[in-house]
Structures are given as structure tokens and as C-alpha cells.
Structure 1
Amino acid sequence: MEKQIHIIGSGFSALSAACYLAQAGCNVEVLEKNELIGGRARQLKKDGFTFDMGPTWYWMPDVFEKFFADFGKKPSDYYELEKLGPAYKAYFEDGEALTIPGTLKEIYELFEREEAGSSKHLKAFLKSAKFNYDVSINDLVYKPGVSPLELVTPTTISKITQFFSSIRTQVRKDIKSPKLIEILEFPVLFLGAKPSNTPAFYNFMNYADFGLGTWHPKGGMHKVIEAMELLAKSLGVSFKTNANVESIEVDATKNIKGLTVNGEFIPSTLILSGADYHHTETLLPQSHRQYSEKYWDKKVFAPSSLLFYVGLDKKLKNVCHHTLFFDTDFDTHAKTIYDNPSWPEEPLFYASFPSITDDTFAPEHQEAATFLIPLAPDLEDTPELREKYFNIIIKRLEKLTGQNVTDHILFKESFCVNDFKKDYNSYKGNAYGLANILTQTAFLRPKIKSKKVKNLYFTGQLTVPGPGVPPALISGKIASDLILKNDN
């Protein structure tokens, strides 16, 4: 009998799973509560400007290629990809900036200029990072997180010390320049944890950064969503937007019966949720939930964010497509996220100016700007706080880049903790899921397959393999593989 599968949510992991399940012959329908497909990767369009509301970094292009290749396609069949050079720019506490080039040769030269002898250490570091990347991408991250034995291979045994040492320890062993240290510790922020709590094995993110480079799909990250939607539809997947799932119905034998969507019951054979894991379980009766409120409250979450989408009536100078503002103390800001949840006094922030690279983002001679401040989840979120922090970062931007920005703002929109909760049912308004620390890695993350309800599965950033767009694509494949395996 053909399986009738309903997928809750339409982010990267949900779309990935939809494609694989449809390819295997399942009847798949995707239910999205919002008006647009894409989950966190929606776009905002206003007055001729375009903004990626969620992810803006295109890293690990091989994972995207691998996904599309599984369907006999290539990314270039759907969107145009450009490697950024420079990759990004970072401002530091002394007001100086480093611009990270687009090639390894130039990166080695930059390191050597900043700290004599550092390029030799960087080469050794990246050799280890590439090895870990190959091990991870070709093997570990595609495991379903069912058993600890998944992680036990001759390679991982030989690298066991890297799971009990941190990125911070590894980076600071040989590199002394504070600026180079911050650049090397930056990529693990995509994993949602402090460098001091991230296992050294995750240095493969540095290979993703320097070795594989930073890319940009013309039209933005939402173009990848559009590509996956097109692919899914070509495989027979159907989509329903403005479809709010209000409950998941289970029969007396703990089998899925169906869902209640906008007040209407829809029968279903199997449900895969790409929505927030905690929220999905609240759609079930208490007795059918695997994880208690206490369980979730004790977990270490990746940050939430305060985001601003700003239209400017002029082009900016002294910034890159991706620009990082490390001009305040990193550890002090990190403590307000992970140790003592509070609004930071002097926040680090990130800015994206995609219209520097891509003229589809803004009208001619104008600039589309996205600003992001990482925050602890579940903070108080008010219009007054948003305005206060917008003024803080704009003043810093003006001072560091030597230009007036305030008088050239045409409009701004904001998105913060309350919006993550409202639009995505995000637990405590987190933006990136569970942090990838040792105690929340692989089999220690919430399970893909429900232990309490038959034919209920999960995918996305709260289960394996973890936060980020490439891991989300992989999570969809893992979930679909497990569904198909259990069905045979």
C-alpha cells in the first residue's frame, strides 16, 4: 500500500526528506503554517529590496551538490552560484579590520603578515581539519543517532582526544594573534556553542571556511528553497501553505491516525515533523511525549537573534558582502548567551550586504543590509529594546567604517525572540536549535524516530546531525532513510 506521509514544516530538512520519500514512491504532502515555503529561510521583499530572513551563508557546497546529485541534478540546474572573494571582513577591538581572501594561498599570506610563522601552523591545522571534514561528511554525519556504536570507527578511535579537547585549546596552542584566533574560532559559532565547549574534532568547520570557501547563490539562499520545492513537485510532492497543524491524533495502539489542520482532521499513515521538535510533541497527548519540559529546559540551546532588515538609499564603503564586528569582547558577549542569559551591554554583531555582490537585492545605487545580534533564547523582547540595540550597532558601524548611515535609512524591519516563537513555534525563541556540544552530539540528541508513537518521525536542527543548512539537508536524508528502512 502506498504510504500517505505528511511533513510538518517546509524548511531545508523537511524539503530534503520530502524529495527522498517521494523518489522512493511515497505519497507526500508538506504542510506549512506560514504563507511562504522555506521555514526560517523565507525572504522579505519591500520597496524593491530583498532580504534573506534566515540563513545568509552558503558553506559546504559539496553537501548541496551531493543532495541534488541523488536526483540526477546539479545546483546549476536551478541557480547560479558565485564564490565570494573576499569571503568576508572582520572588524576588531582596535578598530582595524582583516579581509579574508577567497583563496587558500592568499589566506596563508594574510596570516603570515599578521603573525610571522602562523601560516605554517595554519597549514597543519587545516590538514587536520580537512581529514576531520572528510570523515564527518563521508561517514559520521549521515548516521541516524540510534546508537553510540555509530561513532566507533578506527578513525574516530584514533581521534578520541579531539572529542575531549576544545576548539579554543587547539586554536590557541600555536596561534597568538588575537585577531587570527577570533577568525579561527568564528566558524564554530555556526554549531551554536562557545569555542571552549565545542570539541576540537569540529575544526572541520575551519576547512569548510578556508578550504571550500564562501559562496553566494544569485537571488539569495531562498533560491535554494525554490530549487528544492521545484524538485519536490517534479517528484510528486504536494504543498499546502497557511496550514497550521493543531494536533496529532494517535489511536489506541499508539499508531498515527492523522492531524488536525486549521480545524479539519486529515488522515495520515505517517508523520515527519520538520517543525520545532518540542512544539511538535506538544501537539500530542502528554502520555505520548518522549521528552519532558524538564528535559528541554536543561538542554543547551544555540542562540536566538535580533535581526534587522534595512533599506539604504546609498552604497556603503569599507564593508564586504559578509562583515563581522568583533570590536567588543567575545567572551563577555558569550557569557550573556550561555552562562548568564541577558541582553549584552556591548554586543558583537554580523552584517550582510548582499547587494554588494548581487544587484537583485536592491535598487540601483542603494544597499540592502541585514544585521544580526546573537542573543540568549527566551529574553524579554520589546520594541524599546530592539530600537536601543539598533542604535548601538549603527553607531558602531558608522564609527568603524567612517561613514554616515543613519541619515540614509529608508526603512527597517526587525525580527527577534517573540517572532521566532510566533512564526516558527521555536522553543524559547531559539534561532539555530540545540548547540553541538559533546553531551548533545549524535546519539545524545533527541531521536529521529519517536519511541512513544508508531510512524512519527522528526528531522531538523533539534535532532541529528545539528544546526546549519548543510546539516539540515543531511537530516532530511537521514530521516527519510530511517522511514524507508522501517517500512521494509
Structure 2
Amino acid sequence: MIATNKAIVLGSGFAGMAGAALLAKNGLDVTVIEKNTTSGGRGRVFEDQGYRFDMGPSWYWMPDVYEQYYNEFGYTTADFYELKKLDPGFAVIFGQNEVMDIPADFEEICTLFESYETGAAEKLRRFIADGAYKYQVGMGEMVFQPAHSVIEFMKVRLLKDALKLQLLSSFKGHVREYFKDPRLLALMEFPVLFLGALPKNTPAMYSLMNFAGLKQGTFYPMGGFGRVAETFQKIAEEQGVKFKFQTDIHSIQIKDNRVVGLQNINDFYPADILLGTADYAHIERMLLPKSHRSYPTSYWDKRTFAPSALIFYLGINKKLEGLRHHNLFFEESFDQHAHDIYKDPKWPKNPLFYACCPSRTDESVAPAGKENLFLLMPLAIGLADSPSLREEYFEMLMERLEKFAGEPIREFIDYKKSYCINNFINDYNAYKGNAYGLANTLRQTAFLKPKMRSQKVSNLYYAGQLTVPGPGVPPTIISGQIAAKEILKHLN
């Protein structure tokens, strides 16, 4: 046990809280410093007029990752919240209001695929079996590698597994070896949007996401995703972690190539160890002296970042019978919207978007007889963001939503709040307003990501969605654990 080391964790997202709890469990004196008023990072919650809105994550996939983390502290998921499997897991809406409901039962999904394309049922079984293998390996020993260098993956077994995982093959090409129908292709490719890159630039390894979504299923933590953030804070505090909110750090103080503390306007916070889980680029560019940065500004300018997002949090003064819990609106061109994000960054002409209505499953997140509605449109980072643009796209999305629902919605809105690029920058110091972190492209996977350990400062480590394993809640939970274990190895 280590009793004398004072560790500071900068940022209270899932990576920060996971890392903090593990460090405290192993005897460190840990303080989490957070600029916002509550924990959770992008998984924060706000409540207003009887509505409880999850601000970011809403898809609960890979339940075993959460379970593994809770088991580390002697708990199970059921100790904290009821996990409900959704049926349908989600719906995809194509042109002419064609709806593809994705059943909870995998054999029913196979039947659905066969109805779109002869032979697709058996092909799906093979595709998902391949994805299951990738999930077992990719989310097993391999994902817990700190990825300091390629040498970690040169162990005979891991190297063999890496080849089978298709790390260097394109996801787009991999999917097209199995399916031809454009609707099935859209369904299979949508999970990589969570990884922040085009399917052609995403490793085929990420068919493990299809296994998670179609075979494991889509879940919902009753009470909302914010229950997960509350659980992580509770576990951390039980280990002795202290949380300091509304504290905006202005600089990291270095002496003899070591962090000695963090400074804000009024206070100095001494540290023997610093785990940075706030935006990696912000820590490097804005908090560290130039001489102690691992990466120059030009490095971040050349990275492929996941998109930003335009989000609307809406309270609806009636029930909406036509919506599912998760609704993906794919009536427009996926390729064109992707082009407007990655190739020619601009506000999209005909965007795809996502509508989440958690009150269809959980009545506690909205007043009686009302609906809690969350709209999200992926958007290129670094664009101009204004109230007039937000409103223009609000009308566009609502018109399509009302057409699908077959009923008026706008006139029944009794609560409305928007969130976009400027908010991501202001609330999270997110580089150019990105929403999901660094994209998991072929050239930004594993040891090709920004390193977890500073190359210039001996006691500075990083975790979160800009380093390994990547974006998404389960990967960031794992990221915090990896970083904590690396710190403990360093101290021992």
C-alpha cells in the first residue's frame, strides 16, 4: 500500500473517476478537480421544470465493461440501478418513413435481415461470430494494453490476435463482403459514427461494435444515464477520493521535469502524481509550459477528430406514440453528411440525426403525461456556431421528426435548450468543440494515439477519449483503469 503520494486527477468524467477510485483503493491520497458543478463530464445531467436530461451518452452498450468495473470494488450493476434491455433496441428510419425496428432477440434480427436480402441471415450469423471473436480479444487483454509502443503487441499470441482482428483492414470493405442492400449497410455502419470516422477509414476490428449492439443488445439504466455517473462518484468517494468542483485550473507547475502542483486564480494544489483526463489537447496547449509539451500545436491540427454535435433538449407537453426510445433518421445520404463533416467541413445541407425519447421507457425523466426528447445532429468541428444557425437546423429536424411521428410536436414544446460547438469548448475545453474525442481511424488506433504517459514530464499521465482505447463510455472507463495501473507500476 502507498500512503504518502498525493495524486490529482484533472477532470471528473468516467475516465477520471475510474482512475481516481483505483488509485485511492491502492492507498493514494486522491483529489479530483473539476471545472463544472457536477461529475460525469459529457455524461452530466441537468434537471429543469420536472425534466431530467442526460446531457451526452445515451446508448448503454457493452454492459460487461461496467460490470467488470463494479466487480473491482465488490459490487454488481444491480447494486446501483436496474438495467433494462430495450425491445426494440433501436429503430432506423429510411426514406418514405420506412422503419427498421431492431428486435432484442438476435434470431429475430436474422429473420429481419433475410427479409431485406436473400441469404443475409446466415451471413449476419457469420459476421457477428467474427465480431464476437474480436470483442473477446479486443475487449480482453488487448484493450488493456497501455499502447506505449508497438512492442506490447509483439507477443506471439497478441500479434496473432491482432492479425485476426483486422486492425489494418477497412470496416467499409469488411461489411460489403457480407451485405449489399443499402439499408443493411447503413445499419451495420452506423455504430462507427460513435468512433468518429468514416467507415472506410475505420479498422474492420470494430465489427465488435455490431456484436455489442445486435447480439448483446441495447440497454438502459433506469433513472437515466446520469445514474451511471452518480455510481462512479459514489464508488470513488467510498475509496476516499475527494471531489473539488467549480475549479478551473490555469496552469500546471513543473520543477525538474516533474509536476509539483496545479494553479488557479486563488489556490495552488500540490501533486506528486497528475492524471489528466480533461481534454488532452487543452492540457498540452494551454496548461503546460511549451518546453514540457509532448506534442506541438501542429500535431493536434493534423489529427482526425470525431465530430461535434448540435443537441436539443426538449420537453413535450404530451405523449408521442410514434417514437421509439432510440430513433436513427437515415432518410438522407450518409455519404453526403459524412463529406460535410470530414472532407469539406460545413453545416450539412441534408443531415442525418438521432432522436432519443427515454421517457418511452422511463417515466421518471419527465413529468406525468409528458415526453423527454433529445435530438442530436453530428457536425464538423471548428465551425461557426450561432443562435440563428441552431434555430435554422432545429426547424429542419423538427419538420422531419413531425413527418415521421405523424403529429404536430413543435406547438407542444414546453421546454427547450440547445447545445453545440461553443458549449463543448466552454464546458469541456474540447478541442475545436469536438463531442467524442479523437477518431478511431486506421492511423489513430492503439500505439498510434497520443501516449498515456507524458514524454516530457515524468509524473504526468493521461486518460480519456483522446488517448487509448478511444471514444465512448466503455473505452474511457477502461482508459482510466489502464492509466491508474500504469501510475501504480511507476510508484512501485
Give TM-score, length-normalised by structure 2.
Answer: 0.97
* C-alpha distance in structure 2 between counterparts of 1:142 and 1:236, whole Å: 25
Give 2:260's aligned residue. Answer: 257
Q: How far apart are 1:116 and its partner, in Å?
A: 2.1
Q: How far apart are 1:18 and its partner, in Å?
A: 0.7
* C-alpha distance in structure 1 between counterparts of 2:159 and 2:81, whole Å: 36
Q: How far apart are 1:159 and its partner, in Å?
A: 5.6
* C-alpha distance in structure 2 between counterparts of 1:445 and 1:200, whole Å: 17
Once superposed, what is the RMSD of the aligned Cα atoms? 1.2
User: Cα deviation per residue 1:109-134 (whole Å; 9 max; x = unaligned)?
Assistant: 11112222110110110110000000
Quick check: 1:93–1:329 contact (8 Å CA) kept in 2? no
* C-alpha distance in structure 2 between counterparts of 1:155 and 1:30, whole Å: 34
- Any stretches of 5+ residues in structure 2 without a counterpart? none
Matched to 2:116, the amino acid is E
Matched to 2:315, the amino acid is G
* C-alpha distance in structure 2 between counterparts of 1:458 and 1:164, whole Å: 25
Give 1:375's aligned residue. Answer: 379
* C-alpha distance in structure 1 between counterparts of 2:446 and 2:153, whole Å: 8
Q: Secondary structure at the match of 1:440?
A: coil
> Percent of pairs identical after alignment?
47
Q: How far apart are 1:319 and its partner, in Å?
A: 1.4
Matched to 1:441, the amino acid is T
User: Cα deviation per residue 1:444-481 (whole Å; 9 max; x = unaligned)?
Assistant: 11111111112111110000000000001000000001
Give 2:274's aligned residue. Answer: 271
Q: Secondary structure at the match of 1:470?
A: helix
Q: How far apart are 1:345 and its partner, in Å?
A: 0.3
Matched to 1:237, the amino acid is V
Quick check: 1:22–1:236 contact (8 Å CA) kept in 2? yes
Q: How far apart are 1:436 and its partner, in Å?
A: 0.3
Q: How far apart are 1:157 and its partner, in Å?
A: 3.3
Give 1:57's aligned residue. Answer: 59
Matched to 2:11, the amino acid is G
Give 1:347's aligned residue. Answer: 351
Give 1:483's aligned residue. Answer: 487
Aligned positions of 1:392-431 closer than 5 A: 392-431=396-435
* C-alpha distance in structure 2 between counterparts of 1:266 and 1:422, whole Å: 23
Give 1:98's aligned residue. Answer: 100
* C-alpha distance in structure 1 between counterparts of 2:20 and 2:360, whole Å: 34
Label 1:243 to 1:316 Cα distance change in 2 as closer, same or farther (>3 A). same
Give 2:40's aligned residue. Answer: 38
Which among 216, 231, 235 is matched to residue 212 of structure 1? 216
* C-alpha distance in structure 2 between counterparts of 1:216 and 1:306, whole Å: 23
Give 1:465's aligned residue. Answer: 469
Give 1:332's aligned residue. Answer: 336
Matched to 1:478, the amino acid is I
Give 1:127's aligned residue. Answer: 129
Matched to 1:442, the amino acid is A
* C-alpha distance in structure 2 between counterparts of 1:44 and 1:183, whole Å: 31
* C-alpha distance in structure 2 between counterparts of 1:156 and 1:470, whole Å: 24
* C-alpha distance in structure 1 between counterparts of 2:41 and 2:470, whole Å: 16
Q: How far apart are 1:190 and its partner, in Å?
A: 1.3
User: Cα deviation per residue 1:284-308 (whole Å; 9 max; x = unaligned)?
Assistant: 1111111111000000000100000
User: Cα deviation per residue 1:56-87 (whole Å; 9 max; x = unaligned)?
Assistant: 11100000000011111111111111111110
Quick check: 1:270–1:455 contact (8 Å CA) kept in 2? yes
* C-alpha distance in structure 1 between counterparts of 2:158 and 2:218, whole Å: 28
Q: Secondary structure at the match of 1:71?
A: coil
* C-alpha distance in structure 1 between counterparts of 2:167 and 2:452, whole Å: 23
Q: How far apart are 1:50 and its partner, in Å?
A: 1.0
* C-alpha distance in structure 2 between counterparts of 1:485 and 1:249, whole Å: 24
Quick check: 1:147–1:443 contact (8 Å CA) kept in 2? yes
Matched to 1:50, the amino acid is R
User: Cα deviation per residue 1:383-403 (whole Å; 9 max; x = unaligned)?
Assistant: 000000000000011112211
Aligned positions of 1:213-362 closer than 5 A: 213-251=217-255, 253-281=256-284, 282-362=286-366
* C-alpha distance in structure 1 between counterparts of 2:323 and 2:151, whole Å: 47
Q: How far apart are 1:104 and its partner, in Å?
A: 0.5
* C-alpha distance in structure 2 between counterparts of 1:149 and 1:125, whole Å: 30
Aligned positions of 1:181-196 closer than 5 A: 181-196=185-200
* C-alpha distance in structure 1 between counterparts of 2:130 and 2:72, whole Å: 29
Give 1:168's aligned residue. Answer: 172
Q: How far apart are 1:211 and its partner, in Å?
A: 1.4
Q: How far apart are 1:173 and its partner, in Å?
A: 2.0
Give 1:88's aligned residue. Answer: 90
Give 1:17's aligned residue. Answer: 19
Q: How far apart are 1:158 and its partner, in Å?
A: 6.0
Matched to 2:185, the amino acid is I
Deviates more, 1:106-115 or 1:160-169: 160-169
Quick check: 1:243–1:262 contact (8 Å CA) kept in 2? no
* C-alpha distance in structure 2 between counterparts of 1:156 and 1:376, whole Å: 35
Quick check: 1:459–1:479 contact (8 Å CA) kept in 2? yes
Quick check: 1:246–1:263 contact (8 Å CA) kept in 2? no
* C-alpha distance in structure 1 between counterparts of 2:159 and 2:46, whole Å: 43
Q: How far apart are 1:263 and its partner, in Å?
A: 2.4
Quick check: 2:306–2:438 contact (8 Å CA) kept in 1? yes
* C-alpha distance in structure 2 between counterparts of 1:477 and 1:270, whole Å: 15
Label 1:459 to 1:155 Cα distance change in 2 as closer, same or farther (>3 A). closer
User: Cα deviation per residue 1:256-298 (whole Å; 9 max; x = unaligned)?
Assistant: 1101134211211111111000111120111111111100000
Q: Secondary structure at the match of 1:344?
A: coil
* C-alpha distance in structure 2 between counterparts of 1:295 and 1:263, whole Å: 32
Matched to 1:275, the amino acid is A
